[in-house]
Amino acid sequence: MRYYTGIAMALATAVSAVVCFAVSLEVGGRRDEVIALKRQIASDMREVRRLQAEWQIRVRPMQLQRMNDTYFGLTAPTADRYFASAESYVAFAADANSVPQKAQVIPAIEQPATPFEAPRTYLAKATDTGDAQLVALTSDGPAVAMRLPSATQIAAARKPRPQAPGFGADAPKVHLASWSDDTPGSGRIQLAAWTPEPSPAPAAKPKPKPAKPAEAVPAPRKETEVAMRAPEPAPARASAPVVRESYAAAIPAGAAPLSGLDSATIASIERLAAIEAGTQ
Amino acid sequence: MNPAALRSLRIQLAGHRQQALERSRQRLVIGVLLFAAVTVLIGLRLMDLAVLKAIDRSTRQPDILASVRPPRADILDRNGEVLATTLKVQALAVRPQKVIGDKEQLARRIVEVLPHLELEFVRRQMHSNAKFRYISRRLSPDQVNRINALGEPGLEFHDEAERVYPNGTLAAHVLGYTNIDGRGMAGIERAFDARLSPGEQLNKPLKLSIDVRVQHALEYELNAAMEKFSAIGAAGLVMDVHSGELLAMTSLPAFDPNAVSRSPSETWFNRATQGVYEQGSTFKIFTTAMGLEEGIVTLGKRYDVSQPIAVGRFRIRDYRSNYKNLSAAEVFMHSSNIGTALMAVDMGPEVQQAYFRKLGLLEAAQIELKESSQPLVPSQWSKVSSMTMSYGHGIAVTSLHVATGIATVVNGGIWRPATLMHVPAGTVAATGERIFSEQTSKTMRELMRLVVVQGTGKKADAPGFRIGGKTGTAEKPGVGGYQRKSLITTFAGAFPMDDPRYVVIATLDEPQGTKETYGFATAGWNAAPVMKAVVQRVGPILGVEPNVNKDVDLRPMQQYIAGKQT
């Protein structure tokens, strides 16, 4: 009996020793993992700091200014580009000649999803209601920001349905420009403008798809959308729903609605197109 | 042997065996005890190492994550943009005694990797008798890898902290810079050296009142004006009139805090807080305001400005001398020195001195920076000096003094010190001291708006932003008196004038006339357009909506203003 007790105790000791060793080994391993993770975190945090600094260097205002001066020519919005009241916005939106009332998000320079994506400027983001930035091209500047009134303000302004004087024929029209990505490498700029003639019902237009906003550029009238080619000849698209011709030809001398882009802006967009197309 | 003897021998023998057995048993016990003791000792030692020392180690071991903490706190702008940060870089050093390879070859290889080094210098460091020598600081990770690949145990890398100012020269004079040991040598870095150095607040970045976007707009427009008018320098400020926060402050040309020694030493000087200049006509704001407050000046009160005033060796004359008799409002609008001097005569030097003191114009401008100069004030407050000071001559103060003073005039009359620290929205601004009444402040706002609508500052008028202000042109003193050709031009103003929110000061040092300005180099031609350009850019950013249908009601003013006078 005592003989078996001894064996049992020896066995128990051996087993517990093995188990204890395994546990401590496991603990040690885990501890090493934790330390390694901490090291990784520390190195990542350092990297984050470095990248933050690098990002800050890349987006330093001086640099952005240079890029803006070279490619976009955006300027601060002037007083005449703000809606003074909700009424003026409602009148603007109700005007068939002005921006369509349906929500639109039209990036000014839309391009294929490349790892090196250029900054997007949203030239038009008009929503029916709510606070939003409406950025548009007008006759005396490339891009402007218009502050939209809130939903309640619009509703209040709508109730006593104003006579909607709208904006006269000589009022700034909203021009939208977008980068077309349907033919890779073509470097085509689409420009859309709303002509003084009433456009088709806005609701009939395709809703913008968030994934490919460039396609959402509505063409209210065939002849109002023009395409501008990069110096490199772009293959004509068979399914193109619009008449495509050179930009210069699309603008008769003294044409009001499309003269919104000054020559410098056109030049900068063309240059950007050329760069994107890899010809420069 | 007889049996008896044999028996006794046996007993004896048995006793011997007994004894031997006893002894061996004792030895065995000692052996066992020894073994047990050793085992226990080893066990204890194991326990000590595995449990006690381990606990000790785990508590003593420095937190790895703590090593990430920068040795100096970051500086952010009011929106959280990084203005100054610290990165870890590596420095290469050599311990000449420990180098095992060929030193000549090693030196050549190092220069291959670090081409900016002189071979002779590296060789000298290698052969130095010192224990330890730096070879190069600020290595890139790639360079570190390549030097590591040389496999020389005598070469060492040291972690070093490098202060980085991502925006380059932007707001350089506000931020200042640090020396190679990470001590602040100028600007915020110097003023808040203790706060930024390792301590409790190391993890908390220092948030300034500066807005990078506003700062850039101000610097860009001032730079453009400097270039256009061939000025040798410029200074500018954007200040919140209610809290005294500086959203932008610049002195141009600026230095690059990332490489201070490479910038010319004259750029280290902060014109906005260290440069004391005669501010010229912008001082008429203070003179008119104190006259209105004291009841000595009323808007309709008329002053004879037809003749220059001769006081002592001075003759006070007007820039344009074709006015005869002007109301106080017109004196301000047309910036008449004679009229303003007459106001000062009516007030007397004591009143003027008291107001200047209250406005903080007689002591170094209050700001966190250590670079803040004492103004130059006449030792004697005579009648003559009082008259010239009324239009900003004979007293030299900094742009910051003027900004603080104008903020007081337009914000309802309460003086608050300028600050570079972010004042979070909702917190109570520093308690101010009332100097002017609400009514005086309102009248001054109308007068300042009048200057921009109808007076000398028309070129500052940005449509819809309701800018008001005052131009100021002063001649720089030089050898043998004032130099008519070297001017300091200032536009000091605020916007929107119906409810002022920001003071903007733009100063150009020695601008020249151009074709577009018909050769004129006065403030109305060069500093005022800067004001307009800056406000047009920063107004929308700061949430000031331009509105052409809204303006200061200037109708009450019109009764004091004659039509075109000749």
Q: What is the pLDDT of residues B280-296, one digit of tens each?
A: 889 999 999 999 999 88
Task: Say which of B281, B335, B399, B441 is annotated catalytic.
Answer: B281
Residue of chain A whose alpha carbon sits nearest to that of B213: A61
Measured between alpha carbons, how far is B348 from B385 in angstroms, rounded to an integer?
A: 11
Of A209, A203, A109, A57, nearest in space to B167 by CA: A57
Q: Within a 10 A sphere around the Cβ of B316, how many other Cβ atoms?
A: 23
Q: What is the mean pLDDT of residues A53-71?
A: 81
Q: Which residues of B198-213 are buried (b: 16+ CB within 10 A; e: fewer)?
A: eeeebeebbbbbbbbb
List the structure tokens of A273.
């197109």
Largest Cα–Cα separation, chain B = 170
User: Is the pLDDT confidence value at A253 over 80?
Assistant: no
Query: What is the CB-side half-sphere exposure of residue A123 using CA atoms within 13 A?
Result: 31
Of A42, A65, A79, the CB nearest to B68: A42
Query: What pLDDT, on a 0 to 100 scale, did the predictor assign at position B251?
Result: 93
Query: What pLDDT, on a 0 to 100 scale, did the predictor assign at position B410?
Result: 94
User: Is the pLDDT confidence value at B175 over 90?
Assistant: yes
Q: How confident is the model at residue B490 (pLDDT cuts 50, 70, 90)?
A: very high
Top residue of A55, A57, A58 to mutate, by most chain B CBs within 10 Å, is A57
Q: What is the mean pLDDT of residues B447-463?
A: 89
User: Is the pLDDT confidence value at A185 over 80?
Assistant: no
**Residues of chain B contacting A141 with CB distance shorter than 8 Å:** none
Residue of chain A whose alpha carbon sits nearest to that of B534: A76
Q: What is the mean pLDDT of residues B395-400?
A: 92
**Residues of chain B contacting A145 with CB distance shorter than 8 Å:** 540
Angstrom CA distances, B247 to B211, B498, B503, B542, stand at 5, 21, 10, 10
Q: Per the CB < 8 Å rule, is B539 touching A145?
A: no
Sign of the alpha-carbon dihedral angle for B179, B182, B184, B188: positive
Q: How many CB pairs under 8 A join A and B?
A: 81
Q: Per the CB < 8 Å rule, is A56 touching B167?
A: yes
Of B214, B260, B302, nearest in space to B562 by CA: B302
Q: Rounded to a whole number, what is the distance in Å from the CA of B219 to chain A's nearest CA?
A: 10
Using the Cβ of A35 and the Cβ atoms of chain B, whether some distance falls under 8 Å is answered with yes
Q: Within a 10 A sphere around the Cβ of A255, how many other Cβ atoms?
A: 11
Query: What pLDDT, on a 0 to 100 scale, did the predictor assign at position A19?
Result: 93
Of A224, A258, A255, nearest in space to A138 by CA: A258
Peptide bond between residue B500 and the one before it cis (omega within 30 degrees of 0) = no
Measured between alpha carbons, how far is B486 from B195 in angstroms, rounded to an integer?
A: 42
Could you tell me how far CA A278 lies from the centroid of its own chain? 22
| DSSP per residue, A53-118 | HHHHHHT-HHHHHHHIIIII---PPPGGGS-SSHHHHHHHHH-TTSS-SS---EESS-----SSPP
List the structure tokens of B84.
């100054």
Q: What is the mean pLDDT of residues A1-29?
A: 90
Query: What pLDDT, on a 0 to 100 scale, did the predictor assign at position A242?
Result: 38
Determine contact, residues B398/B371, Cβ cutoff 8 Å.
Answer: no
Q: What is the pLDDT of residues B3-12, one digit of tens each?
A: 777 777 777 7
Query: What pLDDT, on a 0 to 100 scale, did the predictor assign at position A49?
Result: 81
Q: Rounded to a whole number, what is the distance in Å from the CA of B290 to chain A's nearest CA?
A: 34
Q: For residues A34 and B90, which has the higher predicted lDDT (pLDDT)?
A: A34
Q: How confident is the model at residue B325 (pLDDT cuts 50, 70, 90)?
A: confident
**Residues of chain B contacting A84 with CB distance shorter than 8 Å:** 547, 549
Peptide bond between residue B496 and the one before it cis (omega within 30 degrees of 0) = yes
* Among A65-74, A178-187, A245-254, the range of highest mean pLDDT: A65-74
Q: What is the pLDDT of residues A147-170, one digit of tens each?
A: 455 566 666 666 554 443 333 333
3-state secondary structure at position B528:
helix
Query: What pLDDT, on a 0 to 100 scale, did the predictor assign at position A80?
Result: 67
Q: Rounded to a whole number, what is the distance in Å from the CA of B406 to chain A's nearest CA?
A: 25
**Residues of chain A contacting B64 with CB distance shorter than 8 Å:** 35, 38-39, 41-42
In a 10 Å sphere around its CB, with 0-12 CB exposed, 13-18 middle and 19+ buried, how is residue A20 labelled? exposed
Q: Per the CB < 8 Å rule, is A49 touching B85?
A: yes
Angstrom CA distances, B188 to B191, B194, B207, B255, stand at 5, 11, 11, 15
Query: What pLDDT, on a 0 to 100 scale, did the predictor assign at position A159?
Result: 59
Q: Per the CB < 8 Å rule, is B463 touching A41?
A: no
Of B222, B221, B195, B223, nearest in space to B208 by CA: B195
| DSSP per residue, A240-251 | --S----HHHHS
Least confident of B18-32, B454-468, B469-483: B469-483
Residues 6+ apart with CB under 8 A from B71: B86, B161, B182, B198, B202
Measured between alpha carbons, how far is B52 from B46 in angstroms, rounded to an integer?
A: 9
pTM of the shown model: 0.70
Using the Cβ of A20 and the Cβ atoms of chain B, whether some distance falls under 8 Å is answered with no
Least confident of B151-155, B366-370, B547-551: B547-551
Query: What pLDDT, on a 0 to 100 scale, did the predictor assign at position B49?
Result: 84
Measured between alpha carbons, how far is B246 from B420 in angstroms, rounded to an integer?
A: 6
Query: What pLDDT, on a 0 to 100 scale, did the predictor assign at position A203?
Result: 37
What are the beta bridge partners of residue B162? Answer: B87
Query: What pLDDT, on a 0 to 100 scale, did the predictor assign at position B380?
Result: 84
Q: Rounded to a whole number, what is the distance in Å from the CA of A61 to chain B's nearest CA?
A: 6
Residues 6+ apart with CB under 8 A from B381: B349, B350, B352, B353
Least confident of A53-67, B385-399, B494-508: A53-67
> What does residue B416 show for φ and ψ, rounded to 5 degrees?
-135, 145
Residues 6+ apart with CB under 8 A from B268: B186, B255, B260
Q: Per the CB < 8 Å rule, is A24 touching B70?
A: no
Residue of chain A whose alpha carbon sits nearest to that of B169: A62
Tell me the residues of B at the A interface, defined by beta carbons under 8 Å apart.
Answer: 50, 63-65, 67-68, 70, 81-82, 85, 87-88, 164, 166-168, 170, 212-213, 215-216, 220, 462-465, 536-537, 539-540, 545-549
3-state secondary structure at position A16:
helix
Query: What pLDDT, on a 0 to 100 scale, did the predictor assign at position B102?
Result: 86
**Residues of chain A contacting B163 with CB distance shorter than 8 Å:** none
How far apart, in Å, do the first and last CA atoms of chain A sit?
A: 97
Query: What pLDDT, on a 0 to 100 scale, did the predictor assign at position B62?
Result: 64
User: Is the pLDDT confidence value at A184 over 80?
Assistant: no
Q: How confident is the model at residue A138 (pLDDT cuts 50, 70, 90)?
A: very low
Measured between alpha carbons, how far is A242 from B263 in angstroms, rounded to an integer?
A: 57
Q: Rounded to a whole number, what is the distance in Å from the CA of A25 to chain B's nearest CA?
A: 12
**Residues of chain A contacting B165 with CB distance shorter than 8 Å:** none
Of B198, B235, B195, nearest in space to B368 by CA: B195
Q: How confident is the model at residue A94 (pLDDT cuts 50, 70, 90)?
A: low
Query: What pLDDT, on a 0 to 100 scale, did the predictor assign at position B224?
Result: 92
**Residues of chain A contacting B537 with CB distance shorter than 8 Å:** 76
Angle of CA points B245, B251, B255, to nearest 5°: 120
How far apart, in Å, do the first and last CA atoms of chain B sit?
A: 169
User: Is the pLDDT confidence value at A178 over 70?
Assistant: no
Q: What is the mean pLDDT of residues B548-561?
A: 81
Query: What pLDDT, on a 0 to 100 scale, did the predictor assign at position B401?
Result: 93
Q: What is the pLDDT of residues B19-55, one digit of tens each?
A: 889 999 999 999 999 999 999 999 999 988 887 777 7
Of A39, A52, A145, the CB nearest to B82: A52
Could you tell me what percent of chain B has a pLDDT over 90? 33
User: Is the pLDDT confidence value at A141 over 90?
Assistant: no
Using the Cβ of A36 and the Cβ atoms of chain B, whether some distance falls under 8 Å is answered with no
**Residues of chain B contacting A24 with CB distance shorter than 8 Å:** 50
User: Is the pLDDT confidence value at A12 over 60?
Assistant: yes
Measured between alpha carbons, how far is B368 from B39 in angstroms, rounded to an integer?
A: 69
* Average pLDDT in chain B: 86
Q: Per the CB < 8 Å rule, is A52 touching B546?
A: no
Query: What pLDDT, on a 0 to 100 scale, did the predictor assign at position A65?
Result: 85
**DSSP code of B49?**
I
Measured between alpha carbons, how far is B527 from B534 in angstroms, rounded to an integer?
A: 11
Least confident of A200-214, B91-105, B523-537: A200-214
* Among A6-15, A264-273, B316-325, the range of highest mean pLDDT: A6-15
Of A38, A57, A65, the CB nearest to B65: A38
Angstrom CA distances, B114 to A234, B29, B111, B136, B147, stand at 47, 73, 5, 8, 9
Q: What is the pLDDT of residues B355-382, one digit of tens each?
A: 999 999 999 988 999 888 889 888 888 8
Measured between alpha carbons, how far is A9 from B547 in angstroms, rounded to an integer?
A: 94
H helix or E strand, kind and range, residue B76: strand B75-76
B209 catalytically annotated: no
Q: Per the CB < 8 Å rule, is B166 touching A60?
A: yes
Kindly give the pairing relationship between strand A122-124 and strand A133-138: unpaired
User: Is the pLDDT confidence value at B243 over 80?
Assistant: yes
Q: For residues B476 and B31, which has the higher predicted lDDT (pLDDT)?
A: B31
Sign of the alpha-carbon dihedral angle for B25, B29, B30, B34: positive
Q: Rounded to a whole number, what is the distance in Å from the CA of A129 to chain B's nearest CA?
A: 20
